[in-house]
């Protein structure tokens, strides 16, 4: 009988091999050594106790946490602090495809990145405007705070805000036109009004005499603000140019092109299109190109948002850059700070937009 190969079968030797040794899990002391602070300081920062620590110390600890790949025991920490270490994100709109819009996904991306950096997870729910009463994020209260991005008419929004206030949780509202004077609410938005005004001014300066603003029927406050800004420029600049607002059933390519086809069929004469977002602008551009309309010589085209996906469009689109990712990051910062300190240090912030001139105008 051949001798037994003990080198290949011995559990003792296999366990002793370097490959089989368990990887060292970072501790509070490891993080403290990297950050140059005490383990108690690390514990306080990780658990959200900020009193007595400046931003520099807090950032140094968080960077050390990331370098050491430190993972706190969330369950134990939740018992100690009465926190769930989770923030909810509720997307409310009239449609059923809650993450189809690149703006929404970019904003949520920024929110998620900001929460991850601070040790919080994100709980996401998309909800039709008719189903607000059944929202599990509202009924179950399994989060420390709630972020909300919503469309819908004014009355529905007002009623829903009342529901949110009754939850007793801090709320960050994204892209609402007016800050809420009451309740534990912080309002974060971008300046869509000035963005719309700026792109309209640009088109008029390039010679546009009849601008068609095309937007979906969906009640997004941001879309309404963009059109209001464009209309404001036309009404206050003493220009002879005019603005026509055209609505499509939604923001899809087929709906956008269908609305434009009907407008063109009415023998309307126009020399510029201002679309409510870049998807609609690209759809309009493709329709005009198929009809052998020269862009920008015959008709100029401009969109809104300037998100990364437009780089895949073969032409540099004139648009307005929206700080969607930054808005999400800002939401994470103010939400976590509110959770950790007990109050929002600001009730409303508006980020600027920026005109990006391409070859379509």
Q: Where do the domains of the chain lie? A: 6-72, 86-190+324-351, 192-321
Distance CA 277, CA 303 (A): 5
* Peptide bond connecting 313 to the previous residue in cis, omega within 30 degrees of 0: no
User: In sequence order, which residues have a C-beta less than 8 Å from that of residue 249 and are 6 or more positions away?
Assistant: 216, 217, 255, 258, 259
Task: Please give the Cα distance from 45 to 342 (Å, whole number).
Answer: 15
The architecture CATH gives domain 86-190+324-351: 3-Layer(aba) Sandwich (3.40)
Q: What is the pLDDT of residue 18?
A: 43
CA separation for the pair 71, 77 (Å, rounded): 11
CATH superfamily, domain at 6-72: lambda repressor-like DNA-binding domains (1.10.260.40)
Q: CA-based diameter of the chain, in Å?
A: 105
DSSP state of 305: B
In 3D, which of 141, 290, 138, 305 has the Cα closest to residue 220?
Answer: 305
Instruction: Tally DSSP H helices, then E strands, for the chain.
Output: 14, 12
CB-CB contact of 273 with 284 (8 Å): yes
Strand partners, 214: 246, 275
State whether residue 258 is helix, strand or coil.
helix
pLDDT number for residue 6: 44
DSSP H helices, 206-309, are 221-236, 253-265, 278-290
Asked if 6-72 and 86-190+324-351 have one fold, the answer is: no
Residue 22 pLDDT: 47
Each of the 361 residues of the chain gets a pLDDT tens digit; together they read 444 444 444 444 444 444 444 456 788 888 899 999 988 888 788 766 656 678 888 888 888 888 888 876 555 555 445 577 999 999 988 777 788 899 999 999 999 999 999 999 999 988 876 776 667 766 666 889 999 998 766 556 666 777 777 778 899 999 987 767 778 999 999 999 999 999 999 999 999 999 999 999 877 889 999 999 999 999 999 899 999 999 999 999 999 999 999 999 998 899 999 999 999 999 999 999 999 999 999 999 999 999 999 999 989 999 999 999 999 999 999 999 999 999 999 999 999 999 999 999 9
* Residue 346, φ and ψ in degrees, nearest 5: -150, 150
Q: What radius of gyration do the chain's Cα atoms show?
A: 26
Tell me how far apart the alpha carbons of residues 259 and 27 are, in angstroms, rounded to a whole number.
Answer: 61
CB 218 within 8 A of CB 351: no
Task: Return the DSSP state at 47.
Answer: T
pLDDT (0 to 100) of residue 70: 82
- The DSSP secondary structure of 50-95, one letter per residue, reads -TT--HHHHHHHHHHHHHHT----HHHHHHHHT---EEEEEEEESS
CATH of 192-321 given 3.40.50.150, 3.40.50.10860, 3.40.50.300, 3.40.50.2300: 3.40.50.2300
């Amino acid at each position: 009988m051949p001798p037994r190969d003990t080198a290949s079968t011995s559990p003792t030797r296999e366990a002793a091999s370097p490959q089989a040794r368990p990887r060292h899990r970072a501790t509070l002391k490891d993080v403290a050594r990297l950050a140059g602070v005490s383990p108690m300081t690390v514990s306080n920062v990780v658990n959200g106790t900020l009193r007595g620590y400046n931003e520099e110390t807090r950032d140094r600890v968080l960077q050390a946490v990331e370098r050491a790949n430190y993972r706190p025991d969330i369950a134990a920490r939740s018992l100690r602090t009465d926190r769930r270490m989770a923030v909810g994100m509720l997307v409310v709109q009239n449609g059923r495809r809650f993450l189809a819009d690149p703006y929404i996904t970019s904003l949520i991306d920024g929110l998620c990145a900001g929460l991850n950096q601070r040790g919080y997870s994100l709980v996401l729910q998309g909800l039709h405007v008719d189903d607000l009463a059944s929202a599990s994020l509202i009924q179950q209260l399994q989060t420390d705070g709630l972020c909300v991005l919503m469309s819908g008419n004014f009355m529905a929004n007002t009623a829903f805000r009342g529901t949110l206030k009754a939850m007793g949780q801090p709320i960050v509202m994204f892209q609402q036109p007016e800050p809420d004077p009451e309740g534990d609410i912080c309002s974060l938005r971008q300046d869509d009004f000035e963005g719309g005004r700026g792109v309209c001014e640009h088109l008029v300066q390039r010679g546009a005499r009849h601008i068609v603003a095309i937007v979906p029927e969906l009640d997004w406050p941001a879309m309404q603000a963009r059109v209001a800004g464009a209309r404001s420029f036309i009404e206050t600049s003493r220009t002879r140019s005019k603005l026509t607002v055209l609505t499509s059933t939604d923001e899809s390519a087929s709906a956008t092109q269908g609305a434009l086809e009907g407008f063109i069929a009415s023998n309307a004469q126009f020399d510029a299109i201002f679309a409510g977002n870049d998807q609609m602008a690209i759809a309009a551009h493709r329709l005009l190109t198929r009809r052998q309309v020269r862009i920008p010589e015959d008709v100029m085209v401009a969109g809104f948002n300037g998100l990364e996906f437009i780089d895949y469009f073969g032409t540099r689109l004139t648009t307005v850059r929206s700080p969607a990712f930054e808005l999400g990051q800002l939401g994470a910062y103010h939400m976590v700070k509110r959770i950790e300190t007990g109050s929002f240090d600001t009730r409303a912030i508006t980020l600027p937009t920026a005109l990006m001139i391409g070859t379509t105008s």
